[in-house]
Amino acid sequence: MNGEDSLTDATSWKSYSKELKLAAVNDYLSGHYSLNKVIQKYNISSTAVLGKWIKKYNSHRELNDTGKGMTNSMTSRRKTTLEERIQIVNYCLQHQKNYQLAAESYGVSYQQVYQWVKKF
């Protein structure tokens, strides 16, 4: 899906606690569970999400609660209308895809601007 229709609300974002992430990673690394069994057991959205946690854990980086440790422009969340998203995407494209500038200018997250531009 591309264009304006791709900027409608997504409902798939899930947050996970540090404890859940560690438990899921440890279960998988124990060898007793497959990736699919672990995502079912902990209600994780995909094997890709679990895979990122495992990679982070194996590189000795700390697993945190979802949403912590991000910059202010990445965590600021507000409800936007479809018209606002289109305006933000156009602004970002007019400014050489400067996602940070668009995020700060409109008071939305960097990641949202990036995703909207990518979808558009």
- How far, in Å, CA of 26 to CA of 9, rounded? 33
- How far, in Å, CA of 104 to CA of 8, rounded? 21
Domain ranges of the chain: 18-58, 72-119
| 120 residues of the chain, pLDDT tens digit each | 567 666 665 555 677 888 889 899 999 999 999 999 999 998 988 888 888 888 888 888 778 777 544 444 444 457 888 999 999 999 999 989 888 888 888 888 888 888 899 998
- How far, in Å, CA of 113 to CA of 119, rounded? 10
**105 neighbors 91 (Cβ within 8 angstroms):** yes
